[in-house]
Structure 1
Amino acid sequence: MLRAISAAGVDVAFTSIFVAFADAWAYAPRSIAVGLFLLLGVNALVSWRLFRPIEEYLGGRRPFEDAERRITQLPVLTASRVALLALAMVGFRVTAPYLWPNETVPALPSQTLADTVALLLMLPLFYFTYIYFVISDYLGDLCGFIFERTGRNLSLFFGRYRLKLGIALLVISLAPMTGVVIDLLSYDGVKLQYEIATDVAIALMGVAVSVYFIWRSLLRPIRILSRAMSTVASGDMSVRVPVTSNDEVGELTGQFNTMVEGLREREQIRETFGRYVDESVASTILQRGGNGVLAGETREATILFTDVSGFTTIAEKIPPDQLFGALNEYLETVLAPIRAHGGVVNTFIGDGLFASFNMPLACPGHASAGIRAAIDIQRAVAGRSFGEARVPFVTRIGISTGAVIGGSIGAGQRLSFTLLGDTVNLAARLEKLNKDHGTSILVAETTRAGCGTEFVFKPLGSTAVRGRSGSVAIFTVDTL
């Protein structure tokens, strides 16, 4: 209400400037009185009635949906009422000396018809613009207040940013120039000088007051949105900003909040998905979009299988909760070297896991990367006990290199990313053959060939592998 009735204070200042230049102080009491009656008294009553639905909402007596339209339209409704009151006020001031003459008061200098019409048009237009932007600035505070306490934002947008900007430029620039041009065409001599001086003085004051609120109401929502964008760009997805304007910028802010909410949900899906599927696989699926399905593709890759020797016997001796605690700690230890060397853990298989290098993520030198990961795994678990029960786990590893088919497999809404092919089967068989050869790492001939001279391999001859018609040359690697 204080923002709305501030028009009365501006009018007192304008009237003082006019009577000072016209030397018509005798008319000041009547002019100021009618201004205070309309722009202070009547305006206060009108503003209270306009704000009443919002007050009821803030008091908990009305739902937000019922008050939202009034909140959105508050600037234009308040400004239009003030403009009508200003028109009545200017009309009274222009006609009063002729309708209710006072012989004891000196006559006012006569005005031309063009000057009178300009006054009837421009002053109400100024008050409309001034109050519109004053209440628009207040709307930003009100919306921020509501957002902080209830989290509610505007979803109705009746204002138009271009129209706001156009009216602001019109009043600030064209209106004062129009007044001066009309003076130049209507008067001459001393009368011209004081008319121009009056218009310039009033224009300077009006522009100074209006520009402050125009700048705040037009630029503040953009600054808020810009800061929020910078926050999101830095990686903070928790930001949500209040909608503080009723135009396209406010609508854009609402869409920004929706976008950030979508990004936040996407990040939560990625984090949750990454707990059950390797983060790199999840990232690949999300980046490719579509229906979340990775089409089958064939690529040369290195496959690594791990397993714990004698796990069944260990499981019989340890309570389940302690067993799972020890196994999770062990698998976390095994997982680290695989990721460090560019591998992807496709799935956990009981006490073991199945990892790949160069599928689905590119991994240059994948054969060597697989060997380095295997050596680091053995070094990490050697001589170490895991969990509350302090269980030692002996790890067996099988590695094979060759063509691998990778993609999504499943039915309906249940899908899993998996790798298929003879290379995968061979790595699994080699892991189990460690038990027969008393080794901890067994490597296929294709993997050994892919490493060149980087490692020292010990040939263990050829052996029959279940699922293959011929024998397979196998090697172990010197972990030292």
Structure 2
Amino acid sequence: MPPPPALDQVKLWNRFHLRLTAIYAVAAFVLVGAMSWLYYRKSYDTRLEALQEQLLATAVTTAQFLDAETLARLDGPEDAGDPAYQDGVAHLRGILERYPKLTSLYVLLRTETPGKLHFALDWSQGGVEPSAIGDEYDATDLPSMLAGLERPTVESEPVVDEFGASLSGYAPVLDRAGRSIGLVGVDVDAAEIRALRREALTIALVLFGVAALLLTAVTAVVARSIRRPLRRTIEASNAIARGDLGARLDLDRRDEFGLLSAHFNRMAKGLEEREFIRETFGRYVSPEVAATLLADRGAVPLGGEEREVTVLFSDLRGYSTISEKLAPAQVVALLNGYLTAINEVIDAHQGCVIEYLGDGVLAVFGAPNRLDGHPEKAVRCALAMRERLERFNREAEASGVAKAWRDAGLPELEARIGIHTGLVVAGSLGSPSRMKYGVIGDNVNIAARLEALNKGLETSILASGDVVRLLPEELRSAAADHGEHAVKGRARPVHVYSF
């Protein structure tokens, strides 16, 4: 099992305290955001309704003040000097002066053409030139204005006409008989509506910002109360994982973290003897074997169990010559360097080194731990071993280590590898007082025979047909077929392929 990453290597969004805090923070922010949005909508709607009521009230009171019969006399620009016109305009101007938010106030009278109206009175803020008496206004596409001829009406949204965008309220002007002769219209510029939106939005954003700051402070406190004990727990765990069994978790708390601290310290103390055994035992067997036996001594019973595995057997070409021409100390140094490099490759491909036989290496894939796709992993391991050995030779040349080989007339190191898949007996072999983990069976011997067969075929990696048929197409297509060959100790020939 690979070691866990360091705390600073854990991505931020994978950290527990951040995710937990983020969940609460997101939920709180969504809630506050929704409440702020609702406040904004309610605040805007309330302000808009107040403005609409003002428009409606202004239109109604103005319509009630005006005399319909007097207005009916105003027919064209020549009536601009009529005292009734002057009084009417003065009244409109006075209303706009009292309510500066209102932009226009006017009176439109019916004409003989449906939907067509004409101005009788008009006044606007800012010195805008008023429409002349009798100027026609087309209200055909303005249903709210046409409805205002019959009853008080206010628009729900600004409307764009020849005078610009505005929100308007209307009220009918009635004669003494109660008939509508026209309407009073009062406008507010659309900019005022936008100002209402901005005002409501500003207040909502301020409220949201204040709430967000408070939530941020609260979440920071919560995150800190979780982050610190988590960090200390991880640091203590990492120390234990590094072999520092004297490390302890000191959390003086009365909550779950305090309970965790007590159990952690008890566990650390109990691991000291077990870790000592693991460390000592692991020097003589593969780490996978040591871990399996120490974790569950019943997992691999004395006598072994039958298991399908892929066996890899490797040794150095010309080792006898090497051991003959080099001093023993040089041979040991050479073998240790070579075996260290090869062992790293086997470990990287999830293989298990069963034993070293001088220059030979016996490894299995699929025991003691079950391994899916073990034939493929074994073949890829063999290819990587060949590549690693080439690099080992280059490193030896660069460092000067290979000089001793060259002086002795030895070539570069080359390995021969045999691979076979089949059933073996894997387990603890020996006696109850002295055992070793091993694999035995005819299929182990076949891997060794295939390794030796490389010499005659002038190849470096040979695999049996039982291996190749289980490989993915990519590797099968790369295998060279050498047909069937007899191997020592086996009655039937073995179909072999090289890589």
TM-score (norm 1): 0.47
Judging by fraction of residues, say which structure has more helix.
1
Select the structure of larger CA radius of gyration: 2
TM-score normalised to structure 2 length? 0.45
* Structure with a larger share of its residues in strand: 2
